Amino acid sequence: MKLYSAPGTCATAMHIVLEWIGKPYEVEQLDFVSMKAEPYLKINPAGVVPTLVNDDNIVMTEGGAILQYLVDSNPDANIGPQMGDKDRQELYRWLVFISGTLHPYFWPHFLPMRFTTDENGYDAVKAAPHILVDKAFTLIDNHLKGRDWLVGEDKSVADAFLYAMAQWGYGLEKPMTDYKNIHALMLRLSADPSVIKVHNAIGTKAYAPLAK
């Protein structure tokens, strides 16, 4: 399997999950230039990461869908509830929430130029989504009250997905320690040997926000 990723992005979640699975894989680290260059656009025309190419050469995009595929194709890896499990719906719920709600809330912060035609308005655009990010983090934090992981009793791909994006929160004004249940999950995962291995491989640190 081959994962196309980029340091500090949401694709770090798939990298962590591939480590959890423990089967051979390859990772190519892109940057925001090579993501838009012809060779990669032929693989993923959206020009974003992640992309996963499986051993049958099937190209998969969309983080939530890739994580779902990894759960289904590795039933013995204990990375999420299988079909028929009572927690399966919760897995769908959190993968969709993280990719469809939490993730886009960050975009104006990182890429203000895509959300205004006014070059002098970037600072205002960067500041605005903090309210929405706070709303999403508060909802997740409340869900985590009395629980170690987002879904069921064990860590799952949903936690890796949250880990990759909650890291960005450490670069925002409101301290992540205010979301004490998310912060506790982040501490747990940043001590996970696979997560440490991924950070070392990429050359990133836990809680390092994406470059602004």
Ligand X SMILES: N[C@@H](CCC(=O)N[C@@H](CS)C(=O)NCC(=O)O)C(=O)O
Q: Which of 54, 181 has the CB closer to ligand X?
A: 54
Q: Which of 3, 176 has the CB closer to ligand X?
A: 3
Q: Which of 10, 182 has the CB closer to ligand X?
A: 10
Q: Is 81 in contact with 152 (CB distance < 8 Å)?
A: yes
Nearby residues of 152 by Cβ (< 8 Å), 6 or more positions away: 81, 85, 87, 90
Q: C-beta of 36: minimal distance to ligand X in Å?
A: 7
Q: C-beta of 101: minimal distance to ligand X in Å?
A: 11
Q: C-beta of 76: minimal distance to ligand X in Å?
A: 26
Q: Is 103 in contact with 169 (CB distance < 8 Å)?
A: no
Residues that bind ligand X (CB under 6 A): 9-10, 35, 47-50, 62-63, 99, 103
Residues paired with residue 95 on neighbouring β-strands, in sequence order: none
Q: Is 102 in contact with 165 (CB distance < 8 Å)?
A: yes
Q: C-beta of 47: minimal distance to ligand X in Å?
A: 6
Q: Which of 122, 181 has the CB closer to ligand X?
A: 122
C-alpha span between 53 and 58 (Å, rounded): 5
